[in-house]
Structure 1
Amino acid sequence: MTLTSATRQVRDTRAFRRHALAVLLPIGPLCVAALRVMLPYSTTDGPSAQLAAVAAGQEAQAAVLWLGPLALIALVPGLFALTRMAMRRAPVLAIVATTLAVPGYLGIAALGVSDAAALAAVTAGLSPPDGTALLAELAEQPALATSVGLFVLGHVVGTVLLGAALWRSGAVPAWAGVALIASQPLHLAVVVSAGPKLLDGAAWGLTALGFAAAALTLARMRDDDYEPQGFSAPR
C-alpha cells in the first residue's frame, strides 16, 4: 500500500472532535463557578485569614484543588475552539482575545499553588505564624506573582474580547455575547469588593452560558465550515 493511498483512508474524525469540543466548552467555566462558590476564604483575605479559613474548611479547599485542574483541562481547548469559530468573520479580534485569554486561564494553576500550600500547611500541622509566613513568602515569589498578574489581566480582558469577537462573527446570539462581555468584569467587581460568593459564581455562570451558546453553534456547524477537510486528511 502506498503512502498516498494510506493517507486517503484516514478516517474523518472531524464530527467527533467538533461534538466533543461542544460538550467540553461549558465545563471549564462551570468548574470555576463551583470553585468560586466553594472557596473557603475571600480573595481579599490576607495570609493569616486565608489560613484560618482553610483550616476551618479543609474539605471545601480539597474540592477547590480538584476543580482547578479540571477547569484548565476544559478551558484551554475550549478557547482554541471558540477562536476558530470567531476567526471566520472577526480574525483580528479573535487573535487578540485568545492571546490574552490563554495565558490568563493558564494562570489558574498559579492560584492553585497557593491554595495547595495553604491546605498543606494545615494538614502538616504548621503553627499559624509559620503557615502565614509560608503563604506570605509564596506570594512574593516573582514567577508566581507574574503568573497571577497574567491571570487577572488575561482572563478578564481576554474573555471580554472573546465575547465581542464571537458576537461580531455571528457565532453566538447577541445575548450570549453580552453575557460573555459582562461576566468577567462582574467577577472582578465582586472579588475586589469582597462581595457574595454566590454572585461571583453567577458571574462565572454567565461565562458558562456564553460558552454553552457557542457550543450549540459548534454542534450544529458543518464540518467543512469549522475545519476544512484538508486540515485533517491531506490528499
Structure 2
Amino acid sequence: MTVITGPNEATKDSGLGALRGAGLVAVIVLGPLSIAILRLILPYGSGDDAATVAAKIADHPGAQAVTLWLTLIAMTTMVPGVIAVGLLAARHARTLGTWGMVLAVAGFSLLWATTSIDFAALAGVQSGIGQDNTAKLIGNLNANPGLTAATIVFVLGHILGTILIGVALLRRHVIPAWAAWMLIVSQPLHLVFAVIVPSPPLDTAAWALTTIGFAVAALAITTRSAGH
C-alpha cells in the first residue's frame, strides 16, 4: 500500500522543520550573546576586591539586576548550545570534538560558580545590611573552597573546550575557517580582557566572536538536517 503525501502535509512538515531549526539556532546563539551583553554592562570588574564590588553594585543596582536576568538566560542555554555544536564537531572529528564537548559542558555547567556572588551581592545591597556586611559576604563566598574549585573547573573547561571544538570544526572544514578561528581565539581573548588586561568592550567583543562562531555552527546543523 502506497501512502501519498499531499502538498498541504508537505508544507506543514516543511514549516515545522523551519520552526525547529529557528528554535535550535536561537538556543545556540542566546547563550554566548547574553554573556556578551552581560560583560559589557556588569558594574564591576573581575579583578575588583569585595569592597569595590559591593560599592559598584550599590551604585548601579539596575545594571546588576539586568545582569542577573542575562545570567539566567546564559545558564539555561549555554549547555544545550554547547552540546549541539559539540555533537556537530564530534560527528566529523570524533576525538577532538568529543573532548571539546565534554570539557565545555563540564565548564559551562559550573557557570553558577561565577554568578553566585552577583546574586548574593545584589541581595545584600537591597536588604539594607550595608556595604561593609555585603563586602564580608562576598569575601566569604570568594574564600569558599568548593566555590573556588568550581570556578577553576569552569574557567579551564569552557576555555579549553571551546578551543577544541573550534579546532575540530576547522580541521574537518565543517564551517568556514574564519568562523572556526573565531571560536578558537574567542575564549582566550575573553580571559585576557576579563582578567589580565580588563576591558569590558573588548571582553564583549571576544564573546561576540563566540556568538558568531556558534551561529555559523547552528546554521550548519540546520542545513545538514534539512538536507536529510
Q: Is TM more than 0.5 here?
A: yes
**Could you tell me how far apart the structure 2 residues matched to 1:84 and 1:16 are?**
21
Cα distance in 2 for partners of 1:163, 1:47 equals 35
Paired residue for 1:136, among 131, 139, 153? 139
Q: Give the helix-richer structure, 1 or 2.
A: 2
1:155 aligned residue: 158
Specify the code of the residue in structure 1 equivalent to 2:106.
P
Give the structure-2-normalised TM-score.
0.88
1:127 aligns to what?
130
Give the aligned residue type for 2:129.
L
Structure-2 separation of matches of 1:191 and 1:19: 31
Q: CA separation in 2, counterparts of 1:166 and 1:111?
A: 28
1:26 to 9, 23, 29: 29
The alpha carbon displacement at 1:72 in A equals 2.0
Which residue of the partner structure matches residue 73 of structure 1? 76
**Secondary structure in structure 1 of the residue aligned to 2:129:** coil
- 1:194, CA displacement in angstroms? 4.1
**Does the CA-based 8 Å contact 1:21-1:77 persist in structure 2?**
no
For residue 88 of structure 1, report the CA deviation from its aligned partner.
2.2
Q: What SS does the aligned partner of 1:170 have?
A: coil
Query: Contact (CA 8 Å) 1:69, 1:109: kept in 2 or not?
Result: no
- The DSSP-based 3-state class of the residue aligned with 2:92 is coil
| 1:75 positional shift | 1.2
4+ aligned runs moved over 4 Å, structure 1? 12-19
What is the deviation of 1:86? 1.2
Deviations 1:94-136 (A, max 9, x none): 1111111012112221222100111011111122221111111
Structure 1 residues 24-70: Cα deviation after superposition (integer angstroms, max 9, x where no partner): 21111000000000100001001000000100110010111111120
Give the equivalent residue in structure 1 for 2:170: 167
Alpha-carbon distance in 1 for matches of 2:65, 2:19: 33
SS of match in other structure, 1:144: helix
Q: State the identity %.
A: 40
1:150 Cα offset (Å): 1.1
Partner of 1:59: 62
Q: Is the CA contact (8 Å cut-off) linking 2:87 and 2:101 kept in structure 1?
A: no
Q: Is 2:97–2:168's contact at 8 Å kept on the other side of the alignment?
A: yes
> C-alpha distance in 2, partners of 1:16/1:164?
30
Amino acid at match of 1:87: A
Unaligned runs of 5+ in 2: 1-12
Answering whether residue 47 of structure 2 is matched by residue 47 of structure 1, we say: no
- Please give the secondary structure, in 1, of the residue aligned with 2:48: coil
Which residue in the other structure is 1:184 paired with?
A: 187
Does the alignment pair 1:38 with 2:28?
no
Structure-1 separation of matches of 2:196 and 2:144: 25
Structure 2 partner of 1:7: none
Question: Distance between the aligned counterparts of 2:85 and 2:23, measured in 1?
Answer: 13
Tell me, yes or no, if the aligned pair for 1:19 and 1:218 is still in contact at 8 Å. no
| CA distance in 1 between partners of 2:168 and 2:108 (Å) | 18
Please tell me the root mean square deviation across aligned C-alpha atoms, in Å: 1.9
Alignment partner of 1:85 is 2:66 = no
Determine which of 112, 116, 120 is the counterpart of 1:117: 120
Residue 220 in 1 paired to residue 213 in 2? no
Equivalent position of 1:210 in the other structure: 213
8 A contact 2:179–2:216 mirrored in 1: yes
